[in-house]
Amino acid sequence: MTPVIRVGTRGSKLAKAQCAQVAEELARVSGEEVELVEIKTTGDRSSAPVAQLGVGVFVNQLREALDREEIDIAVHSYKDLPTAQPEHFVVAVPPRADPRDVLISSGERTLSDLPSGARIGTGSPRRMSQLLALGRDFEPVPIRGNIDTRMARVGEDLDAVVLAAAGIKRVGRESEVSEFLDPLVMLPAPAQGALAVECRKADKTSARISSMLNDRYSQAAVEAERGLLQRLEAGCSAPVAALADVSEGAEPGLIDLYLRGAAYAVDGSAFERLSTTAELGEGGDAAAVGRALAEDLLDAGAERLLKSNT
């Protein structure tokens, strides 16, 4: 019989779309048949705000299926992963998609075109705090649901919604974007736009195949961003943002990394935002760069901001 690689995915339209992309690549590099296995997570079963549900709500059931060997590989949105990585799992990072946020608005208006008091939907405290920090008297409106559900509210009870560019592109609705938001205006969530292809370390075949999808530059970027998040001891729903730009270094094998990080008060009244640069060789610790920048943010007052949000 032809070997079958069982790939676990959440059941949302976006999750299945991004998993299908990974499955296609897995089939190409392995020459084996790939089967998608749909798994419902805690986050899929509840309409409560993610911050109330806790860490790992879109991940835990997929990991449990890996442990039970019901699937060989799980595909996650990397930003959904808890910062503490189980030692018996290994993660590969395919080339990262666009990490920016986008605005979907009525009348195709940009953020600067929206009037004072505009109602903007988002389920993210990070996005809410940055919208409020603009000083435009925008009204962030908490929303949950899939991309189609959120976008359907634009022009109804909302003037606009803010979503991740990667998700919009993956479900084929990029033509409806009103504005790609500059990271200087809206710094993304750590690891936004990246996928995590996770498998059991002991499963040498799956680990070898999934590692063939790993992109060194994308991996360095998300490790730096998540290193910052971990040191700040902030979960994926905290008002913390980070973005690493990576490029080829001056010499073969080197990577130049430019990392920006920020922590916000939920009400947008204050924030700390810093950046750093680093050069990484083979085996370089990108996460350490993120942790070091987090220390600088803490020294600048980020701890006070994050504690004020609890």
DSSP-assigned states of every residue in 49-82: -HHHH-TTTTTHHHHHHHHTTS-SEEEEEGGGS-
pTM: predicted TM-score of the whole model, two decimal places: 0.91
Longest Cα separation, the chain: 63
Answer for the pair 288, 230: CB distance below 8 angstroms, yes or no.
no
CA-based torsion, 100, 106, 108, 112: positive or negative: negative
The residues pairing with 246 across neighbouring beta strands, listed in sequence order, are 257
What is d(CA 219, CA 138) in angstroms, rounded to the nearest whole number? 35
Size of the chain in residues: 310
Q: What angle do helix axes 13-30 and 204-211 make, rounded to 10 degrees?
A: 100
Domains of the chain: 4-94+194-214 (3.40.190.10), 101-180 (3.40.190.10), 221-308 (3.30.160.40)
Q: Going by C-beta distance under 8 Å and a sequence separation of 6 or more, which residues neighbour residue 198?
A: 62, 63, 66, 73, 74, 75, 76, 89, 90, 91, 92, 210
Respond yes or no: is residue 80 known to be catalytic.
Answer: yes
pLDDT for position 45 = 59
pLDDT for position 112 = 96
pLDDT for position 56 = 65
The parts of the chain modelled with pLDDT lower than 50 are 1, 53
CA-based torsion, 28, 31, 36, 41: positive or negative: negative
pLDDT for position 1 = 46
Q: Which of the following is catalytic: 44, 67, 72, 80?
A: 80
Backbone phi, psi, residue 261, to 5°: -145, 155
Cβ atoms within 10 Å of 171's Cβ, excluding its own? 18
Q: Going by C-beta distance under 8 Å and a sequence separation of 6 or more, which residues neighbour residue 260?
A: 183, 187, 241, 242, 243, 244, 273, 274, 275
* Amino acid making up residue 70: E
DSSP string covering 158-215: BSEEEEEHHHHHHTT-GGG-SEEPPTTTSPPPTTTT-EEEEEETT-HHHHHHHHTT--
Per-residue pLDDT tens digits for 184-210:
999 999 999 999 999 999 999 999 999
What is d(CA 227, CA 244) in angstroms, rounded to the nearest whole number? 11
Cβ atoms within 10 Å of 161's Cβ, excluding its own? 24
Q: Checking phi first, is residue 277 left (phi over 0); if not, alpha (psi -120 to 50) or beta?
A: beta
Per DSSP, the three-state class of 35 is: strand
Q: Going by C-beta distance under 8 Å and a sequence separation of 6 or more, which residues neighbour residue 234?
A: 240, 263, 306
